[in-house]
Amino acid sequence: MPFVVLVMFLCPPPISSEIFLAIPGLFLLGIAALGIAIGLSVCCAYMPDLAEFISSMLRFVFFFTPLWWMPNMRPSVEPFVLANPFYHVVNVVRGRSCTVIML
């Protein structure tokens, strides 16, 4: 975190009104993560093998969540990325509109 603050001090990003939307987005992300963590901790207490499964799945899901790239860069994986719930969480924090998928 100190490195990020240093880089932002040396090369300040352009400040717009959208940057302030990241604060409520991070708050919503924290509330959702807290609820998921509490639910998974209860499940992992009853099923010890679930912890290994969750760690493996998080690694897999991380690579399908476009943090460094956008789904329209690879049209072949776009349906999979749009079905990923973490993609929409990242979009909320980025301040972009969420895509609603009707299943």
Mean pLDDT to the nearest integer, 13-18? 75
pLDDT in tens, 17-40: 777 777 887 888 889 889 999 999
* Distance from C-alpha of 25 to C-alpha of 95, rounded to nearest angstrom: 7
Q: Token digits for 18? A: 């959208």
Mention every residue, 6+ apart, whose C-beta is less than 8 A from residue 15. Answer: none
Per-residue confidence at 96, pLDDT binned at 50, 70, 90? low
CB 81 within 8 A of CB 71: yes
pLDDT in tens, 72-89: 777 777 787 777 777 777
| Amino acid in position 73 | M
Residue 57: closest CA among 91, 85, 28: 85
Average pLDDT, the chain: 77
